[in-house]
Amino acid sequence: MELEEGMPQKIGLSVAVVLVFIVAFVWIGFQFSDNGLTATGGLAMVAALVLFIFAFAVVGVLLGD
């Protein structure tokens, strides 16, 4: 099965956005940990999630055919 032209770049960009999201969650978890996530850490997690949604929306618009 062959991939369409440009598909590997689209896959790579999507995977990169997901990896950045995972790294951000792990970093927030380490930075705002005090035997559990602090209130500020919870807000940071929500902010990271919102930014991830917007980032993937932008990626979807940019990569749309």
Supply the DSSP string of 28-41, one letter for each residue: HHHHTBSSSB-HHH
**pLDDT tens per residue, range 34-63:** 888 889 999 999 999 999 999 999 988 988
Examine the pLDDT at 3 and tell me if it is beyond 80.
Answer: no
Where are the strands (E) in the chain, listed by range?
none
- Residue 52 in any domain: the answer is yes
Q: Per the confidence metrics, is the pTM higher than 0.75?
A: yes
Give the 3-state secondary structure of residue 60: helix
Tokens standing for 60? 């979807």
Examine the pLDDT at 25 and tell me if it is beyond 80.
Answer: yes
Q: What is the dihedral of CA 64, 15, 55, 20, to 10 degrees?
A: -170
- The whole domain housing 42 covers 23-60
Question: How many domains does the chain fold into?
Answer: 1
- Residue 51 in any domain: the answer is yes
Examine the pLDDT at 65 and tell me if it is beyond 70.
Answer: no
In this prediction, residue 4 has a pLDDT band, given cuts at 50, 70 and 90, of confident
Q: What is the predicted pLDDT for the residue at 2?
A: 83
Tokens standing for 34? 């005090």
